[in-house]
Amino acid sequence: MLTKNDLIGILDVHANNLRIASVLRLLSRGSDLEAEFRKVIGQTQPAGFQPSLLLLGDKPRFIHSVDELYRTIVRTAVTEAFELTSDYCDTTKQTALLQSQPWYHLIKIIRNALNHNFRLEFKGKVQSLLPLSWNTITISRDMEGYYLTYENFPPEVALDWLCELGVLINKRL
């Protein structure tokens, strides 16, 4: 079983990964990363880096790849943090405390969307809980089938949730 410290360490890594991916999203839109990378690898430019240089030189393709990387990191962070915390709470008989958090059902809906088709789906008892609000996000019944984007699940909300989850684990579990 994971310890509390293990769980906190995992949350910290996910938060840092989200921060790095957010920075890369911004850099991909503004900086000449191809030129910067060429400086780092030097004059020889090993053949193994040629595909990377081509990608860095194709701004639209690079931006799209970085956005997809970010989405992968968000999906991993939310899913793993949610699942590992749920498992920890099941094992330590604290599931009721976890499920009583104001973000619990909202994040569960988002986790499900991130792991399936990026669309919000309301099945079972969750329909009776709607609308749900936490942080800057509100999910209502009319959002059935709504596609998750950077605008409606922004990086800062994922980071805020990981922080709140960390506080819950540290102080209450």
- Check pLDDT > 80 for residue 45: no
- Check pLDDT > 80 for residue 146: yes
The pLDDT of residue 154: 86
Nearest partner of 134 among 170, 171, 167, 109, judged by Cα? 109
- Check pLDDT > 90 for residue 57: yes
Amino acid (one-letter) located at 121? E
- How far, in Å, CA of 74 to CA of 154, rounded? 10
- Provide the Cα torsion 126, 141, 100, 3; round to 10°: 70
Sign of CA dihedral 65, 70, 71, 73: positive
pLDDT in tens, 105-119: 999 999 999 999 999
Comparing 150 with 89, the larger pLDDT belongs to 89
- How far, in Å, CA of 43 to CA of 46, rounded? 9
Mean pLDDT score, 68-84: 95
pLDDT band at 144 (very low <50, low <70, confident <90, very high): very high
pLDDT in tens, 120-131: 999 888 999 999
Give one DSSP letter per residue of 69-96, joined into a string: HHHHHHHHHHHHHHHHHHHHHHHTT-HH
- How far, in Å, CA of 159 to CA of 66, rounded? 18
For the entire predicted model, the pTM comes to: 0.89
